[in-house]
Amino acid sequence: AQSVTQPDIHITVSEGASLELRCNYSYGATPYLFWYVQSPGQGLQLLLKYFSGDTLVQGIKGFEAEFKRSQSSFNLRKPSVHWSDAAEYFCAVGGFTGTASKLTFGTGTRLQVTL
Amino acid sequence: ETGVTQTPRHLVMGMTNKKSLKCEQHLGHNAMYWYKQSAKKPLELMFVYSLEERVENNSVPSRFSPECPNSSHLFLHLHTLQPEDSALYLCASSQEAYRRGEQYFGPGTRLTVT
């Protein structure tokens, strides 16, 4: 069965500092991988996705993620964090259920940004 | 309207009430999902509809009853809920033909059961 692990429950960074959020997955085939962001009381917004090809993918809001098959990882990065990036971040791996696809989510990492 | 919308955004109901949550997607997708998000717990997939047929029901109690009348609309009918059902209920949609699990979420309905 597929699974996603986000080892960091809570991370605090200073505004302007770089950020890396860790994600490890377990999946039998080539994974489809996603990062979502959730602001308090809101739904999840898709930040970026990896299907195949270039292992470094660019997303919205200046985020990027790198797929490393050898490490089963898909870490999210941003060179310079803004106060508005404070939110919860979810990594997910895509799979299938019957005729539909499904996502398996990690437990999330809450990002706090200090000024 | 664009994207995925959910109504109401907030709902307070007693344990004996009956209410419904509504989700509408304006993306031309053909699969829709209900998730439950409780504090300090992972996102729980409740139901999946593909081409208006239910393809997954993750051992959800019968007090939750989904309905998908067409590919753009999804409902979650609620009755005789318990306080532990208080949570954020999220709806999502995807296009199964080629999106490979890429889902788009609504803003959620914050449900409080008193």
Length of chain B: 114
Evaluate whether B11 touches B21 at the Cβ level (below 8 Å). yes
CA-based end-to-end distance of chain A: 41
Q: What is the tens place of the pLDDT at every residue in A23-73?
A: 999 987 778 999 999 998 889 999 999 988 889 999 999 999 999 999 999
| Residue B56 to residue A107, Cβ atoms within 8 A | no
- CA dist A4 and A91 (Å) reads 7
Q: Which of B7, B111, B88 is nearest to A43 (CA)?
A: B88
Whether the upstream peptide bond of residue B8 has omega within 30° of 0, thus cis, is: yes
Q: What is the tens place of the pLDDT at every residue in A75-97?
A: 999 999 999 999 999 999 988 77
Q: Which residue has the tokens 């051992």?
A: B59
| Residue A44 to residue B105, Cβ atoms within 8 A | yes
Exposed (0-12), middle (13-18) or buried (19+): which is B65, by Cβ within 10 Å?
A: middle
Q: What is the tens place of the pLDDT at every residue in B74-102?
A: 999 999 999 999 999 999 999 875 557 78
- The three-state DSSP-derived secondary structure of A63-94 is CEEEEEHHHCEEEEEECCCCHHHCEEEEEEEE
Please state, as a whole number, how many other Cβ atoms lie within 10 Å of the Cβ of residue B107: 19
| Residue A102 to residue B110, Cβ atoms within 8 A | no
Evaluate whether B70 touches B28 at the Cβ level (below 8 Å). no
Contact status of A46 with chain B (Cβ, < 8 Å)? yes
- CA dist A18 and A36 (Å) reads 18
Q: What is the tens place of the pLDDT at every residue in B26-75?
A: 999 989 999 999 987 889 999 999 888 887 777 899 999 999 999 999 99
- CA dist B103 and B35 (Å) reads 12
| Residue B100 to residue A51, Cβ atoms within 8 A | yes
Among the partner-chain residues B49, B101, B107, the one whose CB lies closest to the CB of A43 is B107
